């Protein structure tokens, strides 16, 4: 057997780094379907999983892939799938099943330009709202946005930890550019990587209630074959897991599955601040767009403009508190994203009119250039009245 953690310094593309991150996190089951630009993740997992005693299976479609990783997780194995826009749409129903059954797993979406078949080989960030609301019904989800191959490695581990801790599918909203660019990736020693696993049941097996929450709002999870005779269903269910068709049961279940996220926001949400302490113009960005934003901020500062960047590592749950606080102390917020305004809507909502929330958007297909962002920063800076600009 070869090691799961390839400790050392590598030159890896984002997709490969994501696969290595999954293996380092303990993922031993991958079910996938080929789709540009995520195929490389599947290919790497197909090569590496047999080396570490795991299983790879290419399913007949993305719907099957998502169902299979839920099944594998219910049997106790950390599992993952990877896809892009069209496959992400197909997976939505079963993501909802994962949310309702409270099954840990990781779904990677290496975003490409859409809608529909779009530009299969070119990146975008147009699935961000879909990540939040793509499945039917009301629920909470966790979505991360890595901005480099190194982050693809680390955030995949983070995604597994979050999915196990909070018992739900966690989405990695990468983009084709980050997925296909190659950079230095440092993989630490296995002992230095902190891993989390699902909370385990204690006490008598016959008294175990699969959905009775623990102190942090998350119920311990019994896996198949352990003698707990659990029942998992997509129907609205009570603490025993039995379907109950009442509005009361619905309210209780929704409060549990949303509550476990909303009451742990400070442990889940992660952002990175860059030159934001005295900033007057705050850029808000994530993924590849944050890389261009970094360059734009530096150039703006060189020209005497007090710009800064708030980089979202966790996009969902959205860092509402951070944006609200930021809006109070900056003159203007500019969301930079590779779509025509999705996270921008959230920033606008949270800014609440206290600071103008502008957008540097793009239909997709190539990264937004630092020059274009800088141009927008300078225009905002030169506005006499910020309220004139609108996104």
Pick from 19, 24, 64, 157: which binds another protein (CB under 8 A)? 64
65 binds another protein, rule: CB under 8 A: yes
> Whole-number minimum distance, CB 281 to another protein, in Å?
46
How distant, in Å, are the alpha carbons of 69, 116, 278, 327, 336 from that of 332?
43, 34, 13, 7, 13
321 binds another protein, rule: CB under 8 A: no
Between 133 and 242, whose beta carbon lies closer to another protein? 242
Between 243 and 353, whose beta carbon lies closer to another protein? 243
x/- mask, another protein, residues 205-224, rule CB under 8 A, reads ------------------xx
Question: How many CB atoms sit inside 10 A of residue 297's CB?
Answer: 28
Pick from 5, 22, 25, 70: which binds another protein (CB under 8 A)? 70
Q: How far apart are CA 302 and CA 300, in angstroms?
A: 5
x/- mask, another protein, residues 243-282, rule CB under 8 A, reads x---------------------------------------
Q: How far apart are CA 222 and CA 252, in angstroms?
A: 21
94 binds another protein, rule: CB under 8 A: yes
SS3 sequence, 149-169?
HHHHHHHHHHHHHHHHHHCCE
How distant, in Å, are the alpha carbons of 170, 185, 201, 240, 284 from that of 176?
19, 17, 40, 42, 20
Strand, coil or helix: what is 1?
Answer: coil
Tokens standing for 146?
């890595």
161 binds another protein, rule: CB under 8 A: no
Site for another protein in 9-28 (CB under 8 A): 28
71 binds another protein, rule: CB under 8 A: yes
86 binds another protein, rule: CB under 8 A: no
x/- mask, another protein, residues 231-250, rule CB under 8 A, reads xxxxx------xx-------
200 binds another protein, rule: CB under 8 A: no
Phi, psi torsion values for 249, nearest 5 degrees? -65, -40
Query: How deeply is 228 buried, as exposed, middle or buried, from its count of CB atoms within 10 A (0-12, 13-18, 19+)?
Result: middle
Phi, psi torsion values for 144, nearest 5 degrees? -110, 155
341 binds another protein, rule: CB under 8 A: no
Residue length of the chain:
391
Closest to 313 in 3D by CA, of 153, 144, 151: 144
Q: How far apart are CA 221 and CA 233, in angstroms?
A: 14
Residues touching another protein: how many (CB under 8 A)? 48
Between 52 and 391, whose beta carbon lies closer to another protein? 52
Site for another protein in 38-57 (CB under 8 A): 47, 50-51, 53, 55, 57
Pick from 1, 9, 247, 387: which binds another protein (CB under 8 A)? 1
How distant, in Å, are the alpha carbons of 41, 183, 191, 375 from that of 23?
11, 19, 14, 42
Pick from 4, 27, 29, 297: which binds another protein (CB under 8 A)? 29
3 binds another protein, rule: CB under 8 A: no
Tokens standing for 296?
């734009």
Pick from 9, 60, 202, 204: which binds another protein (CB under 8 A)? 60
Binding stretches for another protein (CB under 8 A): 1-2, 28-29, 31, 47, 50-51, 53, 55, 57, 59-61, 63-65, 67-77, 79, 93-94, 97, 101, 223-235, 242-243
């Amino acid at each position: 057997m070869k090691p799961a953690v390839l400790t050392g310094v590598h030159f890896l593309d984002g997709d490969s780094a994501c696969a290595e991150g999954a293996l380092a996190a303990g993922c031993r089951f991958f079910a996938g379907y080929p789709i540009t630009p995520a195929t490389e993740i599947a290919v790497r997992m197909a090569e590496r999983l047999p080396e570490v005693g795991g299983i790879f299976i290419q399913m007949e479609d993305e719907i099957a892939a998502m169902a299979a990783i839920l099944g594998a997780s219910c049997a106790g194995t950390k599992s993952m799938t990877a896809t892009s826009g069209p496959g992400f749409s197909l997976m939505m129903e079963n993501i909802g099943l994962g949310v309702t059954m409270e099954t840990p797993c990781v779904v990677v979406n290496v975003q490409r330009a859409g809608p529909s078949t779009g530009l299969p080989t070119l990146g975008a960030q147009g699935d961000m709202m879909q990540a939040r609301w793509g499945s039917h019904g009301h629920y909470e989800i966790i979505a991360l946005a890595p901005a480099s191959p190194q982050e693809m490695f680390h955030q995949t581990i983070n995604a597994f930890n979050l999915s196990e801790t909070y018992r739900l599918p966690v989405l990695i909203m990468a983009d084709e550019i980050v997925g296909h660019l190659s950079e230095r990736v440092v993989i630490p020693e296995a002992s230095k990587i902190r891993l989390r696993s699902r909370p385990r049941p204690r006490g008598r097996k016959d008294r175990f209630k699969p959905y009775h929450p623990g102190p942090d709002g998350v119920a311990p999870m019994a896996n198949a074959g352990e003698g707990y005779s659990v029942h998992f269903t997509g129907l609205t269910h009570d603490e025993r897991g039995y379907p109950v068709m009442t509005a009361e049961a619905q309210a209780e279940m929704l409060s549990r599955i949303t509550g476990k996220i909303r009451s742990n926001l400070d442990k889940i949400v992660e952002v990175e601040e860059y030159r934001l302490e005295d900033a007057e113009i705050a850029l808000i960005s994530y993924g590849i767009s944050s890389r261009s934003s970094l360059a734009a901020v530096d150039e703006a500062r060189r020209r005497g403009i007090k710009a800064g960047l708030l980089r979202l590592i966790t996009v969902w749950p959205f860092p509402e508190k951070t944006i609200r606080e930021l809006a109070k102390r900056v003159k203007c917020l500019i969301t930079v994203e590779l779509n025509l305004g999705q996270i921008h809507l959230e920033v606008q909502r949270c800014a609440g009119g206290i600071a103008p929330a502008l957008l540097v958007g793009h239909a997709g297909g190539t990264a937004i250039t630092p020059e274009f962002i800088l141009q927008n920063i300078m225009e905002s800076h030169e506005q006499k009245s910020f309220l004139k600009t609108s996104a």
